[in-house]
Amino acid sequence: MKTDQEYLDLDKQLLWHPYTSMSKPSPHFLVEKALGCEITLNDGRTLIDGMSSWWSVIHGYNHPTLNDAIQEQLSQFSHIMFGGFTHKPAIELAEKLVAITPSELQRVFFSDSGSVSVEVALKMAIQYWNTQNKPDKQFFVTPKSGYHGDTFAAMSVCDPENGMHNLFTGALTKQFFISPPPTGLNEPIQIEYLTEIRNTFEENHERIAGFIIEPVVQNAGGMRFYNPEYLNQIRALCDEFDILLIFDEIATGFGRTGKLFATDHTNICPDIMCVGKALTGGYMTLAATLTNDKVALGISDNSGVFMHGPTFMGNPLACAAANASLSLLSEYDIPAQISQLETWMEEALSPCEQLEQVKEIRCLGGIGVVELKNPVNLHEIQPKFVELGVWIRPFGKLIYLMPPYVISKEQINLLGKAIYHVASELPG
């Protein structure tokens, strides 16, 4: 039997982790178990989870309801191809998603990751316009500072300059980029920004298939919060210029912004909406792309089939976990529970405002952000958080929290104290 250190040595030798180097890897910590909002390492140390495992484990780890749902489905069958077959977990999940998302979204396409759900959305838009005898509508408009995934079409609509994918610029489809939405949830609308969008549409609408955006919060592109009224205005512009509106709710969906979906901060409905991450409560990889009858029937009535079919589409185990997760979520008072979480984070992070290293503190729903004046070195800063008994993974200039919804005030306070301690030791 291998020792824990032998496992770690093999990891360093064999495994290529995300956003890291094989020759100069960041430290990785061997997990023994996880329960609730705590992660236990192989050496016995326990960490409070401030990340929800990349924003997905909203109910905490090892939840009995989710465990039971997967075990029950496992006793029947774990996977079956979705071509020619169907199954109750997928049907029930589609029914639940249609019930809780904007009313016009009546059709559901499952995939196995958020990035792929974006690929599906972009393909839907292009294929739809092809069936409407507008084959030149092949491109997309999107704001800078956006992030939509690491696969190729998704990378093409991520920030081309300051994002993670500028290395691949030459290989990506050239899309139309506009300025990021002006920040500030309650800041007045800047007409100049809407004029920029209008001008882009006027000049290029015959080539534009869709406008894709993360509603209300640009997440991995900088945790930027903006006024939802921009989305209402963008919807009107899309209608005027015959352009599909696509919302990427992968990070913002299922309560993270204080409403069930960030779309609920608006009074409009997108033509296509992507969901993932918290869909299964962080148990299984699963995503969905929802659309309206205009798109779904436009494609189906004119070209017969939509040209996409993931092998693990509609995986029964993942669908069972998602059904259980959505049932749990329906028992929450989302506005009250997430508002309380927001208040706790504001209180826990507020001491950081005194630090010269800090530019701004901002919170929205289950998102708490400490924006620094200078970027952090993840390789150096991650172990410091582990030493303090918390799991926080900063990026760029941001030290942020997206904890499980079931976290306690005491645990939030410990996360806040750890951030203050580590930030105070950074260069000013």
Annotated binding site for pyridoxal 5'-phosphate: 114-115, 248, 310-311
The residue from 49, 112, 159, 248 that is catalytic is 248
Has 128 been annotated as catalytic? no
| Length reported for the chain | 428
Pair of tokens at residue 199? 């001008």
**Cα angle value 57/62/63 (rounded, 5°):** 80
Cα separation of the two ends of the chain: 47
Residue list for the binding site:
54, 114-115, 147, 248, 277, 309-311, 393
Which among 409, 419, 258, 422 is positioned nearest to 350, based on CA atoms?
419
The whole-angstrom separation of Cα 290 and Cα 222 is 26
User: Annotated catalytic residue: which of 9, 12, 19, 88?
Assistant: 19
Using CB atoms within 10 A of its CB, is residue 353 exposed (0-12), middle (13-18) or buried (19+)? exposed
Distances (CA, A) of 367 to 50, 224, 380: 10, 11, 24
Cβ neighbours of 19 (radius 10 Å)? 10
Query: Between vectors from CA 251 to CA 116 and to CA 416, what angle results, nearest 5°?
Result: 145
Note if 405 is an active site residue.
no
What span, in angstroms and rounded, lies between the C-alpha atoms of 189 and 227?
7
Out of 96, 137, 144, 277, pick the active-site residue.
277
Dig out the tokens for 115 from the structure.
């990035």
Q: Across the beta sheet with 31-35, what order do the strands follow?
A: 31-35, 38-41, 46-49, 390-391
- Backbone torsions φ then ψ of 44, nearest 5 degrees: 95, -10
User: Of 396, 88, 422, whose CA–CA distance to 223 is shortest?
Assistant: 396
3-state secondary structure of 202: helix
Q: Contact 244/209 with Cβ under 8 angstroms? A: yes
Whole-angstrom distance, CA of residue 256 vs CA of residue 254: 6
Helices and strands of the chain, counted as H and E runs: 13, 16
Pick the catalytic residue from 147, 226, 400, 405: 147
> What is the dihedral angle through the alpha carbons of 67, 69, 75, 78, rounded to the nearest 10 degrees?
-90
19 tagged catalytic? yes
Would strands 224-225 and 217-218 be described as parallel, antiparallel, or unpaired?
Answer: antiparallel
Phi, psi dihedral angles at 421 (to 5 degrees): -60, -50
- What is the pairing mode between strands 107-111 and 398-401? unpaired
The three-class DSSP label of residue 160 is: coil
Q: Per the annotation, where are the binding residues for substrate?
A: 54, 147, 277, 309, 393
248 part of the active site: yes
Residues taking part in catalysis: 19, 147, 248, 277
